[in-house]
Structure formats: structure tokens, C-alpha cells
Structure 1
Amino acid sequence: MGQPFTKPNWYNSYQFTADMLFYARAVNHPCRSYNSSSALMFYIPFYASLYAHVFSHENNLTRRDALGVDLLEHISKQPNFQRNGGHDHFLPVGLMALDFSRQNDDNNSYGYKFLTLPHLSNVSIPIIERDIYIGKNQFGIPYPSYFHPKSKAEIRIWQDEVRRSERTHLFSFVGGGRQKGHGSEKFQTAVINQCNNTENCILVFCKYWIVTWDAADEILGAMKRAHFCLQPPGDTWTRRSIFDSILAGCVPVFFSDNTAYKQYTWYIPERREDWSVLIGPDQLDRIEEVLSQIQPEEVEQMREAVIGMIPHVTYMHPNASWTEIGPRDVVDTAHLWS
């Protein structure tokens, strides 16, 4: 979870540890069975995010892929896997599908071919960013944020705090710019320019991405003081900031269906307008105007919906007692268990 903050059960969580947190919660899940013959689902315990970081600079593609290939060849030979061809297995991934979907073996090719291997074709893949085009067996799960409570009481206390928070600004943005030619450059540039040109926006400019989880107070503080939190695409379509803003009770503002609506269907309300705002291409240069036209009572309803989402997009502390959890967290909300 990262280094603990002074506030109990708040941690400097790295955004690419969802698979590790998922594992820490799953091993103590009340539905866990130690009898494989009675199990309905089988967890494949593999930290794909660590695997990616360790071998990412390996130029020999065969060696780069070897660990993942060996794992799946081993798993696929097990009787429990062969019984249903992997349909009853799942493997969480703490990085984007892009990192594990290499399509060719050119020496300059990026990433791994892990998710393209036939052994995983029937396996369910909970992942922080799914491939919305070909990832039929991929299911979006939230990026980890800072809060890992141990009880439903702690969740309620935090929900009450963000509910009482004084919202002094119309909107905020936490992030940085992108170089010319980057796919999200136009979104980031438009957002930053408009934030700089109004007193109604709080801008937390992150020049270097690595510092973002060293500034939790500044990040969440900005989000807690704003009615809306802008969520343009970042390096990829999705971003951890979505879940930071939900944690802060700040209504997310999206600029593409791909950022959340097509990703996190297990975790978000069916009606997007109940909890978020979508800025279309024709509105990109007038963000403040669009947001200022939303009536206060409607903003209040959206914020309450966002606050209600907090338990379900939060990874509870691994040591939390299941009798004390109350609302379902990320792991328990996953439809894998239903």
C-alpha cells in the first residue's frame, strides 16, 4: 500500500499496485474455499505489474515474455483449469492492457504479449485499464487511491468530512501537460489554459508524475474545495485521478467515453449524468461556461452520488475484518464473486 501517512489507514499508495491489493483482499475473502472441488472460481496469483517493471528493459523478447509464458503453460496443465478451459479462472492486472498486448515481435516493440496468449482467452482479467476494442474478457477495476480503511465507521467518517467540505471553486485540475503530438495534448492544453485564465479553477500542476503520490494533502485538498474535477485523458485514456476525485467527493468531468464509462461498469452508476459530466469536442474551449450552467441542486445530487461511490472504489485494508467492512469494497464489488 505504500508508506503510511500520519492519518490512520491513509497510505502513499502507488497507482500500479491494484493486483497486489486485490490479492491481499482476496486471500481473506469469506467466499474463499480450500477445497478445489467445491470452488466456483479460481484465482491465479501473479503480480503482473511487478513482472512488467522487472523485465521491461529486456531487449530479447523471448526472455522478456518467458515468465508469463511459463506461468500460463503451467496453469493450463492443471486439472482445475482444464475442467472448464479457464472460464472459471481470473487474474487481476495492475497495469494497462496496452502494456501486455504486444502484437508483433519486432525488436523495437513495446510491452509484453501476455494478454494475447491463448491460455488467457477464457480467463477473466480484472485490470485498471481494459482494451475497449478487443478486451472481451477484460474488466476495469479502480486504480488504488490513498484511503484503505478497516471499518465501515471509518468510511462514514470520511464521507461526512467530504460532504461538509467547503467548495470554494467551480472546478479543479490535478495533472501536467503533454508534449506536442501526444494523443491527449489538446485536452491537457485546453484544460490548463482555461484553469490559468479564471479564478474559478484550482490548478495543481504536476511537472513530474512521480511526485503526485507525495502530495496527497495538496491533491485531495484541491479536489475537496472544488465542485468539479477535470479528468482529461493522460498518458492513456484512464487516470488514477478519477478515483482520487471520487474519494474527495468531487464530481468528475470527462472528455471521452473511453476514460471511465467504457471501463468501470462494475463500479459506476448506470446513468452517467447521475454522477459525472461529459464535455464534448465542441465544448472543449468553454469548460467553465458549461459547468457554470449546471444548477446547484443538480450539482448537489451528483456530489451525493459520488460520495456514495467511495466504498465501492476503495481497496479496504488487507487486515480489515469482513464483519466490520459494511459496504462492498473494490474486491467484493467485482462480479467475479456473484
Structure 2
Amino acid sequence: MFGKVVISFIVALLLLIPCSILVATLDVRSYYHRSLATLNSPVVVAPAPCSTHLLPLRVYMYDLPRRFNVAMLHRRNTTDAPVTVEDFPVWPNNSGLKKQHSVEYWMMGSLLYGGDESSEAIRVLDPELADVFFVPFFSSLSFNTHGHHMTDSATKIDRQLQIDLMGILRKSKYWQRSGGRDHVFPMTHPNAFRFLRDQVNESIHVVVDFGRYPKGMSNLEKDVVSPYVHVVDSFTDDEPPDPYESRSTLLFFRGKTFRKDDGIIRAKLAKILAGYDDVHYERSVATGENIKLSSEGMRSSKFCLHPAGDTPSSCRLFDAIVSHCVPVIVSDKIELPFENEIDYSQFSVFFSFKEALEPDYMINQLRRFPKQKWTVMWRQLKNISHHYEFQYPPEAEDAVNMLWRQVKHKLPRIKRSVHRSRRLKIPDWWKKRLF
């Protein structure tokens, strides 16, 4: 009996010695909590094999004939060769409200430009290296140019462009490989691509009014919410000694007051806000002169009203941001761009439809709004307004780079969807389960 105890003790001792050596060599705590010395050391840790957060998004852009994009800017240009960085046209100054839907133009320009160290996306010429595929079809400009009245003969051109485009894409092995799931389509006009939307439901859409699109098409897991391109000039010299007192108007609105759907609130607000000396609520249409007057009004107002139009969002919100006028957003279902990075409550005030339509309620809230809190919001507007600038060439953290970063955030979901589509015999089988 004593011999068995001795043998057991020796075996245990033999097992304990190497374990002790291992524990002494490896500090388990340091595995989970790096010491200050480790954090300050010049050790470079390589990213994981599947990590892409440190790398720009690799984008393959289809070389489409110009009739699908820039030829719509200059109708006399009949060349059908794909546009290059050398002949990429300047966005025309006389484009009017078409500019607010021009996101597709700026995204294309960012890829043609080639990028630099601040770029969130770079163009790759080999599609085998691409993370996503950009389709440079100006679907919003096509609607505004060819199908704006939705009944005239020009609408046929918009429809035919969509048919021709899908004919090109269906022949692409990269479209076939993913079913279009890794293809990016800018569609910032609510009627963009309206004839063949069902054929691109699985693709990544860059939209401004998420709630306007059919439920089967819109999906925040894959789609990206974009700002409108602002039409007023940015306020670049906004440095008064007392910004609050320098803005004499409490609340400003200038725009169309008769809209459909949720936009009917504008006509109701016109009645509720009538008679206040410090409120400017004016019916107006978008002309060059009226846009200039709107800019002046926003720059001289503390708050800028943003009620729903035909859609939950409108260009007015982003005009207010670049004018450093604190937005007053009246909407029950608006989706806002870059919200995973930007907290709108830091520079905006929100009211529900019910609150806004209660007589005196909204105005009393704004009149009691603390000056110090408003000033903090005004400064925050100045700090974040560059995120809403569309420009060519693109600059670090501007709207285009922010949009590409949003697409990059969708990449894991896109890859999962593509990989699953290749092996599933019954697509989306879980939706057909009976509970």
C-alpha cells in the first residue's frame, strides 16, 4: 500500500514539473491583458488573414459606354468609349436640382481618380482582386433626364438603358458568380432604376430615402444610406463673436408646402407656424435665385426646419448642416446617413409628427432651448459638416469616402451571402419554416 502511494506521488510530481515550467514561461494574464510595456513597444502586429479594416476597399468598376453615365451630362457628346480620368467631365453649374441626386457621379469620379493614402476605396483593374463591383450607371440622372415626367416618350430611353445594362451584367461571370450580391448600385432618386428593380434586389444599393423603396428591395443589412448632395454653398467663414445672437430668426423653412404621403405635414405646419414673428415659413420653388435666398435664410437662423417631403428625407437637411443651422427634424421614420459613426442628437433636434402638430409646442421648446446647448450644437455642425461634402478629387473623410467606408462595413455580410448562395440548394430556407 505504501509503495502505491509513493509511486502515485512520483507520477504527480513528474506531471507538475513541466506544467510549472510552462506556467513560469507563459504569463497567462499577459495573454489577455497586454502590459504598458507591451503597448509602448514598437512591435507591429499583423492583421488576421481575413481582416480588411486596415486596407482600402478594392473596387472593380465596369467599363460601361458613356451613354450609361457621363453622356447624360453633355448630350452633344456621342462618344461611346468608357470615360477615363483624363476626360472625366466637371459637374455642370447649371444642373439645378439634378445636383442633389448626383452621388453616382462623385462615386464614379473617386474611382477614376485613383485615390491616395486617405482613400477608403481604390479601383482595381483585375476583377479577381475585387471586394465589390461598382456599376457606373447614372440611374438617378437617367430618370431626371429621360423619364422625369414618367409618361413622355423619353421614358423609353430610361427603360432601354436599364434593359441594356442588365444584358451586360448577366453576361458577366462575376454577376453570375454572386447573383449581383457584391455589386454596388447608386440609386439616390426614389424613381431611379424603377423598371427593373426586381432584378437587382440582392445588390448593394446606395440610397438617400431608405423608406421610399419597396420592402423586398431595401435592407439596412446590405444597403447604404447616403446624404443628398447639398445645393446651397457651404458656410466657410462662420466665425461671429456671438453665433447665437448673430442669427436673428428662430426657425426657418423655405420650400414646397404641398407634398404627398407624409409630406402633407408641410401644409399643416404652414398653418401652425403662422403668426410667429421669429419664424420664417415660406412656400417656394427651387430656382437659382430661391436657392440663394434659402442659403441666406439658413445662415441667419438658429434652427432650420426639416419636415418630410414626398419622402422622409430631403436635400434641405444637408443644406442646413453645411449652413451650420441646427436641424429640426420632424419625422417618425427617417433613416440618416453614417449613423453608425455620427450621433445626430449632438447637433439636431427631433420632433414626432404628433409633437410638431401640437399648437405652440415646438416653438415653445425652441424658444426655451438653452443658448449654451445651441452653441455646442453649432460647433459640432462645424466639426462634422465636411462629412457631407461631395467633391472631385475626393478628400479624406468627405462624403464619398464615408460612403465607401459604409460599403466596406457591409463586406462581411456580403461575403457570407455570396458564399451561402453557392452551396444552398434551397435559398433562404429558414423563411419557409413553420413555427
TM-score range, shorter chain: 0.7 to 0.9
1:34 aligned partner: 125
Which amino acid is the alignment partner of residue 113 of structure 1? F
1:170 aligned partner: 250
2:300 to 225, 228, 232: 225
2:142 aligned partner: 51
The alpha-carbon deviation at position 80 of structure 1 amounts to 2.2
Structure 2 distance, partners of 1:32, 1:283, is 46
Structure 2 distance, partners of 1:113, 1:299, is 45
The alpha-carbon deviation at position 174 of structure 1 amounts to 1.5
1:333 aligned partner: 402
Length-normalised TM-score, structure 2: 0.61
Which amino acid is the alignment partner of residue 350 of structure 2? L
SS in structure 1 of the partner of residue 189 of structure 2: strand
**Does the 8 Å contact 1:90/1:125 carry over to 2?**
yes
Unmatched tracts of structure 1, length 5 or more: 6-10, 102-111, 149-154
Structure 1 distance, partners of 2:173, 2:355, is 55
For 1:228-307, what aligned pairs fall within 5 Å after superposition? 228-259=303-334, 262-266=335-339, 269-270=342-343, 272-280=344-352, 281-284=354-357, 285-286=359-360, 287-307=362-382
2:265 aligned partner: 187
1:115 to 197, 209, 220: 197
The alpha-carbon deviation at position 198 of structure 1 amounts to 1.1
**Pair 239,185 (structure 1): closer, same or farther in 2 beyond 3 Å:** closer
1:124 aligned partner: 204
The alpha-carbon deviation at position 4 of structure 1 amounts to 7.2
1:3 to 93, 99, 104: 93
Structure 2 distance, partners of 1:15, 1:302, is 25
Unmatched tracts of structure 2, length 5 or more: 1-90, 116-121, 410-435
Which amino acid is the alignment partner of residue 303 of structure 2? F
Greater C-alpha Rg: 2
Q: Which has the higher contact order (CA 8 A, sep 6+)?
A: 1
Structure 2 distance, partners of 1:183, 1:174, is 19
The alpha-carbon deviation at position 307 of structure 1 amounts to 2.2
> Over residues 253-280 of structure 1, what are the superposed CA-to-partner deviations in whole Å (9 max), with x where a residue is unaligned?
1111333xx242458723x421211122
Structure 2 distance, partners of 1:145, 1:75, is 32
Structure 2 distance, partners of 1:43, 1:26, is 9
**Does the 8 Å contact 1:128/1:140 carry over to 2?**
yes
The alpha-carbon deviation at position 115 of structure 1 amounts to 2.0
1:144 to 229, 235, 255: 229
Structure 1 distance, partners of 2:292, 2:156, is 44
2:387 maps to 1:312 = yes
Which amino acid is the alignment partner of residue 310 of structure 2? D
Which amino acid is the alignment partner of residue 187 of structure 1? I
Segment drifting more, 43-52 vs 185-194: 185-194
Length-normalised TM-score, structure 1: 0.76
For 1:33-112, what aligned pairs fall within 5 Å after superposition? 33-53=124-144, 54-55=146-147, 56-58=150-152, 65-96=159-190, 99-100=191-192, 112=194
The alpha-carbon deviation at position 139 of structure 1 amounts to 2.2
Segment drifting more, 25-34 vs 184-193: 184-193
Once superposed, what is the RMSD of the aligned Cα atoms? Answer: 3.1
> Over residues 212-263 of structure 1, what are the superposed CA-to-partner deviations in whole Å (9 max), with x where a residue is unaligned?
x44333111111111110011112222111110001001111111333xx24
**Does the 8 Å contact 2:304/2:325 carry over to 1?**
yes
> Over residues 17-49 of structure 1, what are the superposed CA-to-partner deviations in whole Å (9 max), with x where a residue is unaligned?
222233223322421122222221211010102
1:107 aligned partner: none
1:23 aligned partner: 108
Which amino acid is the alignment partner of residue 368 of structure 2? Q
Which amino acid is the alignment partner of residue 400 of structure 2? V
> Over residues 147-192 of structure 1, what are the superposed CA-to-partner deviations in whole Å (9 max), with x where a residue is unaligned?
68xxxxxx8xx4452676521121111113217xx43465213432
SS in structure 1 of the partner of residue 124 of structure 2: coil
1:8 aligned partner: none
2:161 maps to 1:161 = no
Segment drifting more, 221-230 vs 290-299: 290-299
2:46 aligned partner: none
Structure 1 distance, partners of 2:196, 2:345, is 36
